[in-house]
A = this chain, B = another copy of it.
């Protein structure tokens, strides 16, 4: 039996997806929302974590590292993510967490089940429709420092608060914001945040 831990924040949808996976004779599944996912991984000892990286917590960043650590990955557990080509930032985060499987959310349940079996067998699985998303993920225009500035700005911090938090001068923060706006092709600061959140960078 392959033990699957399914992580998704919407109970109604997660339940039906879990039912569907459970109908396969070689798969058994437990499911959870992101809050509590790491604790669940520790007790359930899954062979594979199937995780939707869209997270409905207040900042939308799924605690992927926690989940992986508690699941005992990569030694005993594989990570498979549900992703979309339109949010390259999330693909990038999954790649950094060394996910073995990438299933397009525009894909079918059968494709997901095939992917679960492949990654459990030690193979990699990448939905071909995610190709353009990986290309965009590789071309991420912002530096780590710019991402830090942008993350704080997106959470509503002022220039002064960002400066204080990152030990920078206000002028430097303004320069970073100007560079971010230019690099994302945005019209202004709010637009840069909107674009970057849409793509999953912050």
Contact = CB atoms under 8 A, between A and B. Distances in A.
A106 interface: yes
A20 B17 CA distance: 9
A112 B187 CA distance: 43
Nearest to A21: B16
A152 to B, nearest CB: 10
A103 B12 contact: yes
A82 B189 contact: no
Given A16-B17, A16-B20, A19-B20, A191 B156 contact: yes
A114 to B, nearest CB: 13
Interface in A92-119: 103-109, 112
A81 to B, nearest CB: 12
Contacts of A19: 16, 20, 109
Interface in A122-176: 153-158
A20 B22 CA distance: 13
A157 B188 CA distance: 8
Given A10-B105, A105-B10, A106-B11, A186 B156 contact: yes
A17 B109 CA distance: 11
A24 to B, nearest CB: 13
A128 to B, nearest CB: 15
A156 B20 contact: no
B106 A198 contact: no
A190 B154 contact: yes
A193 interface: yes
Given A19-B20, A156-B188, A188-B158, A107 B12 contact: yes
A108 B12 contact: yes
A77 to B, nearest CB: 22
6 contacts: A12-B106, A12-B109, A13-B16, A154-B190, A156-B188, A190-B193
